[in-house]
Amino acid sequence: MSIKGKAEELLAGIRQLSGEPFKIMEVCGSHTVAIAKSGIRELLPESVQLVSGPGCPVCVTDNSDIDRFLSLAQTPGVIVATFGDMLRVPGSKTSLQAVRAEGADVRVVYSTLDALEISRQNPDKEVVFLGVGFETTIPTVAVSVEIAEREHLSNYSILSMHKLVPPVLELLVTDPEVGLDGFINPGHVCSVLGTAPFEFIAGKYQKPSVVAGFEALDILEAIWMLLRQRQEKRAAVEIQYSRVVKPEGSPKAAEYISRYFEPVDAVWRGIGRVPQSGLRLKAQYRLFDAEMKFDLPKPKSVNTPGCLCGEILKGRRHPFNCRLFGKACTPLQPVGPCMVSSEGSCAAYYRYSQRRGMSAV
């Protein structure tokens, strides 16, 4: 059957099961992009609502963390290696891109392996990798520490601003203001963690969740599976994305996380402090911990006036509710992080609503 045929079949199934209002959070930023791109929200019956979640690592990085790595980038003798998404994120005053224009050595890398290579080639400089990401990315950072240790690359360190998905979901599942009925779980985070860390959504809170892939058809099928659970009056974590996600995940990759890191409380932009939702390098790896190597400032987190990013990350508001959206705030002139990262809700809806000629506001 063609893609269109399959989509129509799934939509018919969704319509049949719709009934009472049902609010679903798509946790992952890549899902938000796929949903914005395919226009799924407009195809769904009115009673089935999709809201974006906190699954864009750049977007949830707090201002205070951004200010910290900006000061690091401005330290003489330091090369900052980062994924490209972080370049334009505004801190309270400036951005990596701006400090780079003023002479800071900031390199965009595709992988921690590239950051290691920069360390090898610049033994007289300190190379710091900005560790931003969830459980999919964290094992790749852990391996980089292992390699640095093996090769005695003493000029390599990481600044761990990593975040864990299950603890923040636990916070959102109980948020009365959002009132979520079901979750589309992040596919590639689950390819590492498996489904066990997401069991609490059903076990403790009796809400369905489905691990979904990243094509429009995957998402439609996940929505249908969520509604089917409601229809059958049950709650479980199910896998739609079985071509990639195994129930047990990738134990070796998950084990790398716990071998190198330990959980700490972390501040999420717009959400605040979430217990045990961040990671720091364990004490025995402090030689590779930028927190230990450098005397970093501890700035306060500040809110960007007028920016609803925090509310959007909690699923309480939609980008179209922001008065700055598409006016004062665009991908070229971003006011908040949700407009910077290509996975941010604001950027996703800006890009695809422009293209489809929908009214943006």
Partner 1 sequence: MCLAIPAKVINIVEHSAEVDLMGNSRQVNIDLVADILKPGDYVLVHAGFALERLDESTAQETLALLEEVAAKGEY
Q: Which residues bind ligand SF4 (CB under 6 A)?
A: 306-309, 312, 319, 322, 324-325, 329, 335-336, 338-339, 346
Write the DSSP symbol of residue 111. S
Query: Contact at 8 Å (CB) between 159 and 180?
Result: no
Query: Contact at 8 Å (CB) between 194 and 186?
Result: no
The enclosing H or E element of 183 equals: strand 182-185
Query: Contact at 8 Å (CB) between 135 and 164?
Result: yes
Stretch that binds partner 1, among 18-26, 131-139, 151-159, 259-267 (CB under 8 A): 131-139
Q: How far is the CB of 288 from ligand SF4 (least distance, A)?
A: 33
Q: How far is the CB of 146 from partner 1 (least distance, A)?
A: 7
Taking alpha carbons only, the member of 94, 114, 92, 90 closest to residue 104 is 94
Give the C-alpha distances (Å, rounded to integers) separating 180 from 48, 138, 248, 275.
Answer: 11, 28, 26, 21
Contacts of 199 (CB under 8 A, 6+ apart): 237
Q: How far is the CB of 349 from ligand SF4 (least distance, A)?
A: 9
| 48 DSSP β-pair partners | 22
Q: Which residue number, 161 or 324, has a Cβ lying nearer to partner 1? A: 161
Stretch that binds partner 1, among 22-30, 198-206, 227-235, 319-327 (CB under 8 A): 22-30
Query: Contact at 8 Å (CB) between 129 and 114?
Result: no
Residue 215 binding partner per list partner 1, ligand SF4, none, with a CB distance cut-off of 5 to 8 Å that depends on partner kind: partner 1
Query: Contact at 8 Å (CB) between 182 and 49?
Result: no
Residue 338 binding partner per list partner 1, ligand SF4, none, with a CB distance cut-off of 5 to 8 Å that depends on partner kind: ligand SF4
Write the DSSP symbol of residue 118. H
Q: Which residue number, 256 or 350, has a Cβ lying nearer to partner 1? A: 256
The residue to which tokens 């045929």 are assigned:
5
Q: Which residue number, 186 or 278, has a Cβ lying nearer to partner 1? A: 186
| 289 DSSP β-pair partners | 158
Per-residue contact track with partner 1, 173 to 202, x per CB under 8 A? Answer: -------------xxxx-xx----------
Residue 57 binding partner per list ligand SF4, partner 1, none, with a CB distance cut-off of 5 to 8 Å that depends on partner kind: partner 1
Q: How far is the CB of 139 from partner 1 (least distance, A)?
A: 5
- Contacts with partner 1 by CB under 8 A lie at 2-4, 7, 28-30, 37-38, 55-58, 83, 85, 110-114, 132-134, 136-137, 139-140, 143, 146, 186-189, 191-192, 213-217, 242-244, 246, 250-253, 256, 341, 343
